């Protein structure tokens, strides 16, 4: 597993452990929550890119009506 974990600069410094960390592991991208570092999600760069594009698109969309 990677020891080159990175977190967003928006996470701040100090004791703030509420962030997602990302690292490269060979051909995969690995993600983890900083306060539970032993739980790791593995994905491919294309799949992560698709997820990010979808999240951005949904964030820009008007809210869905509540049934």
Cα separation, 67 vs 51, whole angstroms: 26
pLDDT digits (tens, 9 = 90+) for 9-50: 777 666 666 788 999 999 999 999 988 889 999 999 999 999
- Identify the pLDDT of residue 9: 77
State the pTM of this model: 0.69
Between strands 6-7 and 28-33, the pairing is unpaired
**Which of 3-7, 12-16, 35-39, 58-62 bottoms out in mean pLDDT, i.e. has the lowest?**
12-16
Farthest-apart Cα atoms in the chain, separation: 46
Tell me the pLDDT band of 62, cut-offs 50, 70 and 90. confident
Rg (CA), the chain: 15
**pLDDT-derived band of residue 58, with 50, 70 and 90 as boundaries?**
confident
């Amino acid at each position: 597993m990677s020891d080159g974990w990175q977190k967003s600069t928006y996470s701040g410094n100090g004791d703030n452990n509420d962030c997602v960390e990302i690292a490269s592991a060979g051909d995969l991208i690995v993600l983890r929550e900083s306060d539970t570092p032993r739980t790791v999600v593995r994905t491919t760069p294309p799949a992560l890119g698709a997820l990010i594009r979808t999240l951005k698109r949904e964030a820009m969309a008007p809210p869905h009506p509540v049934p």
